[in-house]
């Protein structure tokens, strides 16, 4: 029996990229022994992206569109596509063609060869050197402090089986970080190196602020190390403080001043870290939907 493949494509104000992506990706998918559908997930676009997708759908019924009620963000878009479409295999790829659609054929070959997850490993990226440096720091640090395995360098450019898809959708969290979920799930993974290209059209929606938020979300989603760090710091201070007082020969006034400074900064670290996790726990408790579908603009 021919297997089905759903290609989930996030779209947020990508008018100039949609048609070139469709044509290039269709050429790849037509060569695969699968029945496929290209699922564009419209994340609150305001530039005519939805209309362009509908134009493609009018000529090819394999083009699907899920429209969200507003801009919910990248991971929410992927979650929507994975959740709402039934298929045997799922692929995730950006519409700007920085991640080459041709690699989908390699991913499919890896799946056919026994892998449960095939993903792209970026060998380069056109960006300022400081951004590259801090990106590498994020990846290595995130992997080091993660509570379980985490897939780095993949940037959610991947193909996976339905079994893996079901596992990564199981957690009911309002903070989705797919590479952490894929790493936690385990299964057989295969990385495929590739050279990242320039965007087909337009400018990236990621800026320094968004990248910083993404990094913090990655740390909090995959690790409780920041909470444990409070204990480690408290232990170090508890051991070192008496030694400093003893060997420095500090008087009562100096000891009090030093203790006040140490207490202030430790409290600042501890309360800020606990507040971040508490806020996430609160939002998970409220359990608002990660995304909301606009059914009037959704065509599956």
From 168, 271, 276, 169, select the one nearest 219 (Cα to Cα): 276
From 91, 115, 88, select the one nearest 103 (Cα to Cα): 91
User: 112-139 burial, b if ≥16 CB within 10 A, otherwise e?
Assistant: eeebbbbbbebeeeeeeeeeeeebeebb
Is residue 57 predicted with pLDDT exceeding 80? yes
The full set of domain ranges for the chain reads 3-222+288-297, 225-286
In the numeric block, which tokens belong to residue 93?
């790829």
Give first-to-last CA distance, the chain, whole Å: 22
Mean pLDDT, the chain, integer = 81
**Distance between CA atoms of 256 and 251, rounded to whole angstroms?**
9
User: What tens digit of pLDDT does each residue of 87-116 get?
Assistant: 999 999 988 888 889 999 999 999 999 999
User: What tens digit of pLDDT does each residue of 260-298 get?
Assistant: 777 777 888 888 888 888 887 887 778 788 889 999 999
**Domain 3-222+288-297 homologous superfamily, CATH:** Spore Coat Polysaccharide Biosynthesis Protein SpsA; Chain A (3.90.550.10)
For the ranges 67-76, 89-98, 196-205, the lowest mean pLDDT is seen at 196-205
- The pLDDT of residue 63 is 93
Residue entry with tokens 């970026």? 122
User: What tens digit of pLDDT does each residue of 116-154 get?
Assistant: 999 888 766 666 666 667 667 777 776 777 776 677 666
> Average pLDDT for residues 227-256, to the nearest whole number?
72
Q: What percent of the chain has pLDDT over 70?
A: 79
């Amino acid at each position: 029996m021919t297997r089905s493949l759903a290609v989930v494509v996030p779209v947020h104000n990508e008018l100039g990229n949609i048609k070139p992506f469709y044509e290039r990706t269709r050429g790849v998918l037509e060569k695969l022994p699968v029945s496929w559908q290209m699922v564009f997930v419209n994340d609150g676009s305001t530039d005519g992206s939805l209309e362009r997708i509908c134009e493609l759908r009018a000529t090819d019924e394999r083009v699907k569109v899920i429209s969200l009620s507003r801009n919910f963000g990248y991971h929410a878009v992927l979650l929507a596509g994975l959740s709402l479409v039934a298929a045997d295999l799922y692929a995730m790829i950006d519409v700007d063609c920085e991640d080459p659609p041709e690699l989908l054929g390699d991913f499919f070959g890896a799946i056919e060869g026994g892998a449960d997850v095939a993903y792209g490993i970026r060998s380069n990226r056109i960006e300022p050197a400081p951004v590259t440096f801090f990106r590498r720091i994020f990846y290595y640090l995130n992997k080091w402090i993660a509570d379980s395995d985490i897939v780095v360098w993949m940037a959610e450019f991947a193909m996976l089986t339905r079994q893996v898809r079901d596992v990564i959708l199981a957690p009911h969290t309002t903070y989705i970080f797919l590479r952490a979920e894929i790493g936690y799930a385990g299964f057989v993974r295969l990385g495929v190196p590739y050279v990242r290209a320039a965007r087909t059209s337009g400018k990236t929606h990621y800026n320094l602020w968004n990248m910083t938020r993404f990094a913090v979300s990655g740390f909090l989603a995959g690790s409780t190390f920041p909470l444990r760090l409070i204990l480690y710091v408290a232990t170090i201070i508890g051991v070192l403080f008496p030694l400093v007082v003893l060997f420095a020969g500090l008087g009562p006034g100096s000891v009090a001043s030093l203790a006040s400074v140490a207490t202030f900064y430790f409290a600042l670290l501890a309360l800020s870290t606990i507040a971040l996790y508490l806020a996430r726990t609160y939002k998970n408790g409220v359990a608002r939907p990660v995304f909301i579908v606009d059914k009037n603009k959704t065509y599956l």
